């Protein structure tokens, strides 16, 4: 698969198109995708995610891992997180998607693009969209979950936005302790700071995570960073 430009540039082009022609962003994205030979933007994004060299995340994880999936918008971190959950379902595990970003319907639409030759696989995925999602909420929801359960949290920084919730560092500390004790894998989708420059390094890393407040990154045990169809998996602790 060869695109006429990196996916982030295509997304930027779509935003300009939406502004100039006063059309919804999703319509502009689909138009750009058709110009690249895809029926829609979601199919283009899936293809980019599938072309990554780090598609098989689950086999690299152990019970109790806290995982960071980081990328700039449009580079496939959500799709990678959802693929992780589908792989877990295929492996007979309980899978939960906690999202403060997408609706249940939007999530199901994305899941369908990933099911491939196993349609209906995503029906076993639990999708949680409650506005009260935070560390305490996640711990309560997964209190009786069996070891090996996989949960993806969408996304890291949004847990830090509500003033009536503990600061992000405290939430991560509580989730790390819970995951290790319960043997549950927690994966966090994460934003990358706008200062990240792909000209200086091909992939972002821990130094590029956007954090409004200080967080001890050693709380994470593993990470995977994506950019322009490339990916790099690393062990942190």
Please give the pLDDT value at position 114: 82
Angle between helices 104-114 and 41-50 (to 10 degrees): 50
| 237's tokens | 């602790």
Q: Name the stretches of the chain with pLDDT < 70.
A: 1-2, 6, 8, 46-55, 117
Please give the pLDDT value at position 48: 66
Burial zone of 149 (CB within 10 Å; 0-12 exposed, 13-18 middle, 19+ buried): buried
DSSP code at position 21: H
Please give the pLDDT value at position 212: 77
Please give the pLDDT value at position 163: 77
3-state secondary structure 86-120: HHHHHCCCCEEEEECCCCHHHHHHHHHHHCCCCCC
Please give the pLDDT value at position 8: 67
Please give the pLDDT value at position 117: 64
Give the model confidence (pLDDT) of 170-224 as tens digits: 999 999 999 999 999 999 999 999 999 998 999 999 999 998 788 999 999 999 9
């Amino acid at each position: 698969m060869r695109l006429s430009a990196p996916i982030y540039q295509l997304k930027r082009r779509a935003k300009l198109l939406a502004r100039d022609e006063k059309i919804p962003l999703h319509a502009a994205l689909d138009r750009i995708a058709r110009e690249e030979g895809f029926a829609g933007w979601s199919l283009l994004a899936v293809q980019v995610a599938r072309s990554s060299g780090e598609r098989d995340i689950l086999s690299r994880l152990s019970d109790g891992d806290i995982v960071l999936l980081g990328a700039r918008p449009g580079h496939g971190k959500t799709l990678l997180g959802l693929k992780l959950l589908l792989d877990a379902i295929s492996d007979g595990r309980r899978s939960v998607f906690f999202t403060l970003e997408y609706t249940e319907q939007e999530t199901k639409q994305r899941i369908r693009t990933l099911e491939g030759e196993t349609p209906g696989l995503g029906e076993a995925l639990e999708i949680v969209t409650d506005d009260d999602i935070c560390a305490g909420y996640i711990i309560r929801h997964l209190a009786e979950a069996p070891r090996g359960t996989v949960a993806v949290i969408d996304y890291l920084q949004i847990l830090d936005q509500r003033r009536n919730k503990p600061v992000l560092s405290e939430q991560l500390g509580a989730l790390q302790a819970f995951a290790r004790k319960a043997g549950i894998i927690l994966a966090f989708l994460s934003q990358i700071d706008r200062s990240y420059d792909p000209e200086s390094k091909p992939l972002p890393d821990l130094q590029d995570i956007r954090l409004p407040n200080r967080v001890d990154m050693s709380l994470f045990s593993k990470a995977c960073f994506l950019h322009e169809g490339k990916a790099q998996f690393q062990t942190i602790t």
